[in-house]
């Protein structure tokens, strides 16, 4: 279980990334889709209910779901590497 502070920080960062990603769809400097995907990933780390909702909807798109799972596993290895 994540602490409340960690969840609040992750949720705030996730919302900010999604917002910047939406701005990036209209501004040529920022990569919009990449930033939105990163924001959604951070939100799945912050909230279990959001993660369940997101995975339930990703099943409809198998290729995207495969890449999401692969990225999730990679980030898990990355985080555990730096916790050592």
Give the CA distances from residue 2 to residues 7, 10, 45, 46, 50, in Å, rounded to whole numbers and listed in that order: 6, 10, 9, 8, 15
Q: Could you tell me the pTM of the whole model?
A: 0.72
SS3 78: helix
Give, for all 84 residues of the chain, the pLDDT tens digit: 567 888 888 889 989 999 999 998 898 888 888 888 888 888 888 888 888 888 888 878 888 878 878 877 877 776 666 555
Neighbours of 41 (CB within 10 A): 17
CA dist 78 and 9 (Å) reads 19
CA dist 32 and 12 (Å) reads 18
């Amino acid at each position: 279980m994540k602490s409340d502070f960690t969840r609040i920080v992750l949720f705030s960062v996730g919302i900010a990334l999604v917002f910047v990603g939406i701005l990036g769809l209209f501004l040529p400097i920022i990569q919009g889709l990449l930033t939105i995907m990163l924001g959604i990933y951070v939100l799945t780390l912050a909230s279990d209910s959001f993660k369940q909702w997101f995975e339930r909807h990703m099943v409809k798109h198998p290729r995207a779901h495969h890449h999401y799972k692969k990225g999730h596993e990679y980030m898990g290895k990355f985080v555990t590497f730096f916790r050592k």
